[in-house]
Amino acid sequence: MLITPLGEESLGVRSMSLYVETKSLRILIDPGASLAPFRFGLPPHPREFDALKAFRDRLMNMVSKADYIFISHYHRDHFTPPYGSIYMGTGAKDYELIYEGKVVLAKDYETVNPSQRRRGIGLFKAVQSLVGKWIKCDGQVINIDGTRLIFSNPIPHGKPGSRTGYVVGLGIIDESSSLAYIPDVQGPLSREAVEFALSLKAETLIVGGFPAYLLGGKSFKQEDLDEANNNLIIIWNTVKPRKLVIAHHLLRIINWRDYLPSMIKAHTYASLLGLSDNLLEARRRELYENEDPGRGYVNKFRSRGSEEE
């Protein structure tokens, strides 16, 4: 099984995008990325836009190889939208190149929160005449010539009852290896996420980490971090993965490893590629201090406004 990271915080953008290939399957997982419109009161630094362009280039290089696309949920850093966006690095028609002719295995947009539902319906309407097939994949098991795809039932995006809705996790199993991809579960913080990880017992486990950069605010308290780490220890001790990859929300803070249990030996998307972490969003203030693009650059974004994730 070939697992190729494409985009993620350790690669300079908000994303969890992967390309996975087995003898019988070639699939793009969550083909999207975005930049935080404002962090530390600052818009994305030019280096972040460079990283976003590099992601888009990597993604487009893999599109022609893939037959399948998986969309775990409808936050804008997990799919390519049917419009242009500076924060997602998309042109108005880029989505056609991504989805045309593909079998799309997508989270059911009827079982998400209102904003995700709106985006999911919008994407489906835009691509339904382009795709080979659109399959609502929640809870399904699909066999493709010896490769088994196991889709979770809806898992909370973080804590149970979260207003940010639900995601679908994915297990990929072939004769050589196994992968569990459980995005945006923020720790994990839910029983459903833990149970899905335990059920797969995958050799490579990719988990969306706890949003430590939001710790102490209205949404996340110390007890939430404790719960996330307790769940992670259960998974670590039970599954015993060869590689545990911690991704996404946790890596929006520079000292993210300090928030993990000491026993956890975590990989990142960057380390899977043999690279050092490139935490551009976490370092945004530092980037402005060392490479200031000027007040005019910042004012241009303030007049533009922002786009939600």
Strand order in the sheet with 133-136: 2-8, 16-21, 26-29, 68-71, 103-106, 133-136
Identify which of 149, 145, 121, 155 has the alpha carbon closest to the alpha carbon of residue 137. Answer: 149
> Quick one: tokens of 25?
């399957």
Residue 195 placed within a domain: yes
Which pLDDT does position 302 carry in this prediction?
79
Q: Which amino acid is at 187?
A: G
Rg (Cα) of the chain, in Å, rounded?
18
Show the DSSP H helices in 134-190 as ranges.
none
Identify which of 34, 107, 20 has the alpha carbon closest to the alpha carbon of residue 66. Answer: 20
Domain of residue 116, CATH code: 3.60.15.10
Q: Which residues fall within 8 angstroms of residue 259, CB to CB, at 6 or more apart? A: 210, 212, 225, 229, 250, 253
| Number of independent structural domains in the chain | 1
Identify which of 226, 78, 250 has the alpha carbon closest to the alpha carbon of residue 165. Answer: 78
Return phi, psi of residue 46, to 5°.
-50, -30
Residue 309 placed within a domain: no
Identify which of 170, 166, 135 has the alpha carbon closest to the alpha carbon of residue 151. Answer: 170
Residue 55 placed within a domain: yes
Residue 252 placed within a domain: yes
Identify which of 19, 14, 15 has the alpha carbon closest to the alpha carbon of residue 3. Answer: 19
> Quick one: tokens of 252?
């929006």
Angstrom distances, CA of residue 145 to CA of 51, 52, 175, 205:
36, 35, 11, 23
> Quick one: tokens of 205?
């486990």
Q: Which residues fall within 8 angstroms of residue 53, CB to CB, at 6 or more apart? A: 89
**Residue positions counted in the chain:** 309
Residue 111 placed within a domain: yes
Sign of CA dihedral 212, 214, 217, 221: negative
Q: Which domain holds residue 118?
A: 2-304
Q: Which amino acid is at 260?
A: L
CA 55 and chain centroid, separation: 13
Tens of pLDDT, residue by residue, the chain (309 residues): 999 999 999 999 999 999 999 999 999 999 999 999 999 999 999 999 999 999 999 999 999 999 999 999 999 999 999 999 999 999 999 999 999 999 999 999 998 889 999 999 999 999 999 999 999 999 999 999 999 999 999 999 999 988 889 999 999 999 999 999 999 999 999 999 999 999 999 999 999 999 999 998 888 999 999 999 999 999 999 999 999 999 999 999 999 999 999 999 999 999 999 999 999 999 999 999 999 999 899 988 876 655 544
- Nearest 5°: the CA angle 7, 10, 13 is 50
Show the DSSP H helices in the chain as ranges.
46-63, 94-99, 114-127, 191-200, 222-239, 269-272, 284-290, 295-304
Identify which of 148, 156, 154 has the alpha carbon closest to the alpha carbon of residue 136. Answer: 154
Residue 122 placed within a domain: yes
Identify which of 180, 230, 184 has the alpha carbon closest to the alpha carbon of residue 205. Answer: 180
| Dist CA 29 CA 183 (whole Å) | 10
| Dist CA 153 CA 220 (whole Å) | 24
> HSE-up of 186 (CA within 13 Å, CB side)?
24
